[in-house]
A and B are shown apart, each in its own frame.
Chain A
Amino acid sequence: MWPKNFKFTEDHEWVKVDGDEAQIGLSNHAQDALGDIVFVELPEVGDEVVQGEPFGVVESVKAVSDCYAPLSGTVVKINEALIDNPGLINESPHENGWMIVIEPSDLGELNDLMDTAEYEEYEKTVEH
């Protein structure tokens, strides 16, 4: 059910590494918990992100949530489609709802994250 080459954080972000780029988004669990997403605040290309620190914000009708970076690096791409259609995160959290692409500064940080199997287990233990 979960894409096999993803890594996950405890805050339900995912990261997919492809060569020297890492794509980042919210997991299906996160979008389900948030409800309909109405607005997304993304960083700008060139911004630095730090593992464990917020890189953006998602708003649903009733809640606001920080998005935490799974890896540190520099933002090279942002998903502009989310500006007009934030609901993409709900519809396709692991594909079209990707949020940013970064150039990771330390791939060793991947060891701090959960792989798909671990995340599946983790997800079962978490409330809603």
Chain B
Amino acid sequence: MMRSEPIIYELSAPGRRGYSLPKCDVPEQDVKDLLPEAMLRERAPALPEVSEVDVVRHFTRLSQLNHGVDIDFYPLGSCTMKYNPKINEEVVRLPGLANIHPYQPEELSQGALQMMYELDQYLCEIGGVDKVSLQPAAGAHGELTGLYVIKAYHEDKGEGHRKMVIIPDSAHGTNPASAIMAGYKTVEVKSNEAGDVDIEALKAVLEKYDGEIAALMLTNPSTLGLFEQGIEEVASLVHKAGGLLYYDGANANAIMGISRPGDMGFDVVHFNLHKTFATPHGGGGPGSGPVGVKERLAPFLPVPVVEGKDGRFYLDYDRPKSVGRMKGYYGNFGVAVKAYAYIRTMGPDGLRQVSEDAVLNANYLMYRLKDHFERPYDRFCKHEFVLSGNIQKREADVRTLDIAKRLIDYGVHPPTVYFPLIVDECLMIEPTETEGKESIDNFAEAMLKIADEVKRDPEKLTSAPHTTVVGRLDETRAARQPDLRWTPAAGAEGE
């Protein structure tokens, strides 16, 4: 039986300490002699006082209340929850990679710079682009960077009046959010019944905003897990209209070594190292969202860029057309190291097999489930597929949310729910290539049992989950009466 864990503050006792520091070996001047009294802290920070044992037990017990890829299946669509190789965790902790300062002399950072340069080249090869910036810290950050690059490109050509970005109705929320943040306006383009961008609808949008189109943002395969069959026409239409094509790399796990976004016509591509390239998700980061571009857009990439010449690697700041800096330093190096190690481990054959197995696993799982759950698109999928909970809703007024909560009782993490928005009661399922057949069968069987429960005993779903440390949580209360930090008065269990 799982126990809930107190808040760390609730384990505190005055005088306990969890740390040890050396005695001060320089003259112990009074703080008041070194800093003006008016700038001294009035009240000591009310941090908890716990022993090291407390800290370790506390966080270890918290970890036991959590599900990760290392525990079981985690089929979140478009997240690519694949296995995180342990050797990558080991090598990133080498002092020569972890304990290096971004401003230390370049001659004494050649290993780091070389690794970044090589990763740049590998990503270019995989994506079909010409130059990569490793600076963006996540996919959304990569999108924003890519959009700034597109903006700068248009402005440089005297086309700064182009203010519209086209986004499909199936797109991830970061796409429109990034476009707005970059100062663009967005217009939606509909998907057709096959799940592809509706070409006629696209033509209508291009005509309506003739001369104003800056870009079209697309992910391929789409968030429905389907390859855009008309991608060549889409690319041609957008380019003819004077716009650029942006590739959201969230779904790149389906096509490595099989097809490349750069060859499809995309001008700007972002990669999610924490998805396709096996770096851990960390409970919400850190990620890394490198941006790759075709040659003519390279001058606009954020600064600095890593360059190499005659075996010497350096940071190139001499880029007058750059959009500027997107964050401090050079990017999430500690994440890039793991992606680099992964690519060096898999090699070209390995990466292609990753995509082939990911696609096989998804189609197999889809076929195991398609007779029991509504399947909106009658096509082979790529690395992920969508189902709808509509049958169950009609049968017993059970929602996809309830299916998800019941899956938790079967020990697996539910798939993504209610996204993409264009499918009713949506379930988006991505097994990834690191799941064995047994794991996939296990999940399929859980889903089939649940489909059966819907008919016989739907209350099991609507009251789920039953096996976790807490039952279904009151999200309405959390939003209506936000309690976002611990205070001594609010320590009690419930109210």
Contact = CB atoms under 8 A, between A and B. Distances in A.
A and B touch in the complex (CB under 8 A): yes
Nearest to A62: B418
B484 interface: no
A62 B478 CA distance: 12
Contacts, number: 19
Contacts of A86: 480
A67 to B, nearest CB: 18
A59 B479 contact: yes
B104 interface: no
B476 interface: yes
Contacts of A38: 476, 479-480
Contacts of B418: 62
Contacts of A59: 479
Interface string A20-61: 000000000000000110110000000000000000000111
Contacts of A61: 475-476, 478-479
A87 interface: yes
A86 B482 CA distance: 13
Interface string B436-475: 0000000000000000000000000000000000000001
Contacts of B476: 35-36, 38, 60-61, 87
B186 to A, nearest CB: 16
A62 B400 CA distance: 14
A3 to B, nearest CB: 26
A87 B476 CA distance: 10
A49 to B, nearest CB: 23
A60 to B, nearest CB: 8
A59 B475 CA distance: 13
Q: Looking at chain A, what size class is its interface with the partner chain?
A: 10 to 19
Contacts of A87: 476, 480
A62 B476 CA distance: 9
A45 B76 CA distance: 45
A102 to B, nearest CB: 27
A60 B478 CA distance: 11
A50 B476 CA distance: 31
B95 to A, nearest CB: 46
Interface in B208-261: none
A87 B480 CA distance: 9
A117 B480 CA distance: 35
Interface in B157-196: none
Contacts of B475: 61-62
Contacts of A35: 476
B403 to A, nearest CB: 16
A36 B476 CA distance: 6
A37 to B, nearest CB: 8
Nearest to A85: B480
A59 to B, nearest CB: 7
Nearest to B481: A38
Interface string B22-36: 000000000000000
The residue in B418, B478, B479 that gathers the most chain A C-beta atoms within 10 A of its C-beta is B479
A38 to B, nearest CB: 4
Nearest to B393: A128
Interface in A7-23: none
Nearest to B476: A36
A119 to B, nearest CB: 24
A61 B475 CA distance: 7
Contacts of A62: 418, 475
Nearest to A86: B480
A104 B418 CA distance: 39
B422 to A, nearest CB: 14
A103 B430 CA distance: 54
A107 B475 CA distance: 41
Contacts of B479: 38-39, 59, 61
The residue in B418, B475, B478, B480 that gathers the most chain A C-beta atoms within 10 A of its C-beta is B480
A81 to B, nearest CB: 14
Given A61-B475, A62-B418, 17 more contacts: A35-B476, A36-B476, A36-B480, A38-B476, A38-B479, A38-B480, A39-B479, A39-B480, A59-B479, A60-B476, A61-B476, A61-B478, A61-B479, A62-B475, A86-B480, A87-B476, A87-B480
19 contacts: A35-B476, A36-B476, A36-B480, A38-B476, A38-B479, A38-B480, A39-B479, A39-B480, A59-B479, A60-B476, A61-B475, A61-B476, A61-B478, A61-B479, A62-B418, A62-B475, A86-B480, A87-B476, A87-B480
In the A-B complex, the 3 residue pairs with the smallest Cβ-Cβ separation, listed nearest first, are A38-B479, A36-B476, A61-B475
